[in-house]
Structure 1
């Protein structure tokens, strides 16, 4: 099982300079290796799909890959000795990032979905570097030792759980300071909760007026963190626009704007974690809709959907449920709002109609509550089918 803990770093002036210099050199290396990939791509492709019998074919160049670009780091240190100030594993991670970004553009991910063309990193846009290996004794209480940087003070607000070992360490520069992220690993597989009760199930319908409505009629209002901070963000953005490009005052204004955006993101994430804890402490199984959030975010409700952060909330909910030995069931969302939860009769209604009134069984209740009950019923049905298939496999 893999988890990540993030702590605030308190580097001194010299260490801050080293971290900033390291990030800038890694940015240059990233852009150089990405340019190598683009040069190979442009020189080895041709728009002509046919040719005559006698023609000149240029010699094809070898394709740069992760192994070849990592091997070139040895020569890089000879040509540019200042790169010796960076740990070798940190340099190797840059080649890994370039390889993944380029392959996702040409080949796509494991599902075949392609990403956009990779972009070159501008000044200040490369913000994280990673040590692929880490010795456990280099992190003791409130101090961490990083190669080529030294001993840094850490605000360790929570201890590392027993049984977990540190696999990788990442240093990130954010608007309000520097952070270190520890990737922790435990060989033990999370076990199902001993008193797990599959009948203790709830369905939740996420929304924009109420963040979610549960099938037992409990609901939480949407906090709208971004909407509430919109005035302050606009004011901070105007200050950035009024400053001259490249001036120190503009840099300070940009930093203040970044801090405000980070506060909104942190507040939203804290709300998601607390909401997840409330759900997992009261229910053993949570049924949710398998939503196409990216598609919904392209509609006129994009601002409110991004403000709610459904994707982050569902991701946290699944991870926390797995670690706690509980279950999250994703169901097909088609028709959950139109179908009557009492008699299954389809009652078509527009988005502005907030009440469900069934003409057949005369059920009248909140539209979101009706959807949440349908989600719970479908989740119960899916759990029953899974149990039946598991029992049949065991009998075979």
Structure 2
């Protein structure tokens, strides 16, 4: 079982300055190593994809920078720039890893046809997290955590770490309202499936924009629309930022207030997702959901509402919590769940604006979302049986 706990840090003024300085130096190193990757790409790319058989000259390719070759240069970096000695060596080694993930994801898009955005250089204040890949549990005691090269920092403990869990990694993050530490935890003794798991206790859920979820038992949770409700405050905070002179302290304060407003919306949404997932998992052992193309929907005219609902985050939270509880979440093919009749299977084509499902064959009439959730449950049951037979 893997999970993570996040706590708020209360660093002293000196410790906060060390964290800020560490993030800034790591940002410079990230940009430098990303530039090395771009240089290699530009020097080795070629617009010619074919040549004659008579004359063909291919230039010798230069070695591609990778995570390990860039990590090897860090020793010389500390000699040339001694101030980098104030950063823990393993924290510094995590930067090439981040660069490699971002760069490889971009290059991989050309091979798969799924283009992702070109990695960007980090501006001031945009590099916000650094990680200790190894951490001893005894360095986190009571309400204090010892971070190498920073010191012993006070932590606000809102829940205790279970004794059976091992701390694998520790990440420090700077957010709009302060500093946070995230502990990645693991307990190998927790069973993957709980002993009294009941495969027949299954539910299908259909996510939407009017009702956040509609279950196959006809339970509904209205979409909270946190962003829509906060738009007025966000617009006001954004106007204050745009009216301040660039580079001024007043603009920095206005940006910080805007960031806090956005964080409040994100935190409220995340809390709602956790509570909704917890409510479902207390009642059901198996939850069937649609495998939606959320990125595609987020580019449509419904983009704002889709992003406000946060379906991707909710399904991710639901899946992780189910695994930790020894339960299951099954993703099924969403094609036709709204169009097929849940009673007789007849396809009833209807536009998105039509909210009722009326079948001409069996004369059934019910809510479109309820019809979809019943179909999702049926497909989830079929997929669960197929999994059990194959295993």
Distance 1:349 1:142, change over 3 A: same
Query: Any residues of structure 2 matched to 1:355-366 within 5 Å, and which?
Result: 355-366=356-367
Which residue in 1 is equivalent to 2:11?
Answer: 11
Distance 1:191 1:99, change over 3 A: closer
**In 1, Cα distance between equivalents of 2:57 and 2:296:** 48
Which residue in 2 is equivalent to 1:32?
Answer: 32
Distance 1:358 1:62, change over 3 A: closer
**In 1, Cα distance between equivalents of 2:327 and 2:55:** 68
Q: Secondary structure at the match of 2:264?
A: helix
Cα deviation, 1:7-32, whole Å, max 9, x if unaligned, reads 00000101111110111111001111
Which residue in 1 is equivalent to 2:46?
Answer: 46
Q: Secondary structure at the match of 1:330?
A: strand
Which residue in 1 is equivalent to 2:146?
Answer: 145
Query: Any residues of structure 2 matched to 1:242-391 within 5 Å, and which?
Result: 242-390=243-391
Unaligned runs of 5+ in 2: none
Which residue in 2 is equivalent to 1:393?
Answer: none
**In 1, Cα distance between equivalents of 2:328 and 2:19:** 41
Cα deviation, 1:52-73, whole Å, max 9, x if unaligned, reads 9789876643322211111111
Determine if contact 1:190/1:322 at 8 Å carries over to the other structure.
no
Cα deviation, 1:150-195, whole Å, max 9, x if unaligned, reads 0100001111123111111110000000000111122235332222
The alignment status of 1:212 with 2:213, answered yes or no, reads: yes
Determine if contact 2:2/2:324 at 8 Å carries over to the other structure.
no
Which residue in 1 is equivalent to 2:133?
Answer: 132
Which residue in 1 is equivalent to 2:222?
Answer: 221
**In 2, Cα distance between equivalents of 1:225 and 1:198:** 35
Determine if contact 1:330/1:379 at 8 Å carries over to the other structure.
yes
What root-mean-square deviation, in Å, do the aligned CA atoms of Structure 1 and Structure 2 show? Answer: 1.9
Worse-superposed segment, 65-74 or 9-18: 65-74
The alignment status of 1:69 with 2:73, answered yes or no, reads: no
Q: Secondary structure at the match of 1:229?
A: helix
Which residue in 1 is equivalent to 2:237?
Answer: 236
Give 1:256 shift.
Answer: 0.3
Distance 1:229 1:67, change over 3 A: same
Unaligned runs of 5+ in 1: 391-396
**In 2, Cα distance between equivalents of 1:5 and 1:236:** 31
